[in-house]
Amino acid sequence: MEEKYKPSAWNFGNGDSNLISPNGLYTLEYEQIGEIAMGAPLGGACYLTGKNIERIEVSYHAGGPAIWDMNKSRVAFPSWTKDRMQKLTLVDLDQKKIITYSKQFRVLELEVFEGDIIKGIDSPIYKTEIVYFDTSNEPIVNEKGLAI
């Protein structure tokens, strides 16, 4: 039986269906995707596009894959830090904000985004830990407006 493709931190790209918002109005696009180190997960610049908005950079060094909130116009994805750790970045289209949270992770694999809760795994290959991230209670390291 052939294994179905599933985006991961080591294998994601612009053809992935998870980059399109549930309402079909917005899309994330990556540029210059490459390994952050030999054999390591991927990273690249991440842009938001959509109906009636110009292309906007939402992260200069994002990881993947991204996950959309199924009920609101929000998308979350890992962003790489200078020390090769990850932080969670949230683009909230309704509030017109880009939020990066303080907590650091090794390699995020996001699975579910419902309400204010993002569930997933940190480090899916080595010393795996379950992630239960409440966006309403986590400290924020950076918040900026989204010009849409």
DSSP state of 54: E
Structure confidence at residue 141 as a pLDDT band (50, 70, 90)? very high
Residue labelled with tokens 């998870």: 18
- Using CB atoms within 10 A of its CB, is residue 82 exposed (0-12), middle (13-18) or buried (19+)? exposed
Over the stretch 17-57, which tens digit does the pLDDT of each residue have? 999 999 999 999 999 998 988 888 999 999 999 988 889 99
| Annotated domain spans of the chain | 17-145
Q: How confident is the model at residue 4, as a pLDDT? A: 78
Q: Above 70 in pLDDT, residue 72?
A: yes
For residues 9 and 108, the answer to whether their CB atoms sit within 8 Å is: yes
> What is the distance between the alpha carbons of residues 143 and 101, in angstroms, rounded to a whole number?
9
> What is the distance between the alpha carbons of residues 87 and 78, in angstroms, rounded to a whole number?
6
Structure confidence at residue 63 as a pLDDT band (50, 70, 90)? very high
Over the stretch 110-124, which tens digit does the pLDDT of each residue have? 999 999 999 999 987
Q: How confident is the model at residue 76, as a pLDDT? A: 97
The mean pLDDT of 89-115, rounded to a whole number, is: 95
Q: How confident is the model at residue 117, as a pLDDT? A: 96
